[in-house]
Structure 1
Amino acid sequence: MPGIAPDVISHKLAISSTYKPVRQKRLSYNAERYEAMRTEVEKLQTIGFIREATYPVWLANSVMVRKSTGGWRMCQDYTDLNKACPKDSFPLPRIDQLVDATAGHELLSFMDAYSGYNQIFMHPPDSEHTAFITDKGLYCYNVMPFGLKNAGATY
């Protein structure tokens, strides 16, 4: 599976020990949403972004959101897990500092990766904490999913 080597960077969860793990109950959906969820899970499993989870202590719901194209997007509700993780205090650079830093250079490049978050692996001990529930079982992410607190700072 392509992506940034885990020894370069991986997403770690700093879960506070003062929070009790939460296992959300599975939501019910209509047949159309279940089919879209199954298709997405199969795709993510085939490309190695997710794997089956066994006995996770944190468990998030899968939420199906309608896309503007009429299809479905599968998201996970990491609200409870995010409450247990403190916010990264890493400040982003100011725009004027970024512009000043480019002065005097002949070449400037901007890069964006396809499914950028999915190019960064989860720290292996934290992977099971990204577990989510579907009608076909429990899965967790091998790569950094959207919706986790501090994922933007890692990216």
Structure 2
Amino acid sequence: MPRLDRELVKHKLPIKEGYLLVKQARRRMSMQTELKVKEEVERLVIAGFIKPAIYADWLSNIVPVLKRKTGAIMLCVDYKNLNEASPKDEYPMLMADILVDGATHNQMLSFMDGNAGYNQIMVAEKDIHKTAFMCPGHISAF
């Protein structure tokens, strides 16, 4: 999947003063779920979306979400500690319907892929270590 150039746009993760680095306690999951998680992690590594982390300052857990129709697992990361440590945006994004209505008389309207949009904007190089997450068992951290 193509990504937006880091020189054009990058996601920064500032931390408020006084917050310490957080390594969440490891969560347990069933062996069946663990195998599905391992398959999904391997798929994401091959696709180039994630890479192994050796020494991580911040470390979050994954929360596997089962897709009922397909039985596949979607990996979500529990960034609650990182969210608490990040300053809140004073200017929240407008609601999508207002943005679409505002573009009514334009010749072209373009949307970013909403399905995998989080993979299109890269995290700033200096903040990548804050997004590390651990996988169950012996899989590792990424």
In structure 1, runs of 5+ residues without a counterpart are 140-155
User: 3-state SS of the aligned residue for 1:11?
Assistant: coil
Which of 120, 128, 140 matches 1:137? 140
Structure 2: runs of 5+ lacking an equivalent: none
* Deviation of 1:96 (Å): 5.7
Letter in 2 for 1:99: D
Maintained 8 Å contact 1:102/1:108: no
After TM superposition, the structure 1 = structure 2 runs for residues 79-118 of structure 1, keeping only pairs within 5 Å, are 79-93=80-94, 99-100=101-102, 102-103=104-105, 105=106, 107-113=107-113, 114-118=115-119
2:81 & 2:30 partners in 1: Cα distance?
Answer: 25
Moved more, 125-134 or 93-102: 93-102
* 8 A contact 1:57–1:129 mirrored in 2: yes
Instruction: Give the letter for the 2:60 counterpart.
Output: A
Query: How many matched pairs?
Result: 137
Deviates more, 1:87-96 or 1:40-49: 87-96
Report the equivalent of 2:66: 66
TM-score computed with the length of structure 1 as normaliser: 0.78
TM-score (norm 2): 0.85
Tell me the residue number matched to 2:14. Answer: 14
Q: Percent identity?
A: 34
Give me the whole-angstrom Cα distance separating, in 1, the residues matched to 2:98 and 2:121.
28
Instruction: Determine which structure has greater relative contact order: mean sequence separation of CA pairs < 8 Å that are 6+ residues apart, divided by chain length.
Output: 2
| SS, match of residue 29 in structure 2 | coil
**Following the alignment from structure 1 to structure 2, what is the Cα–Cα distance between the partners of residues 57 and 22?**
7
In structure 2, the CA distance between the partners of 1:10 and 1:97, relative to structure 1 (3 Å rule), is closer
User: CA RMSD of the aligned region, Å?
Assistant: 2.0
Distance change (3 Å), C-alpha of 1:7 and 1:100: closer
- Relative to structure 1, the CA distance from residue 79 to residue 7 in structure 2 (aligned partners, 3 Å threshold; closer, same or farther) is same
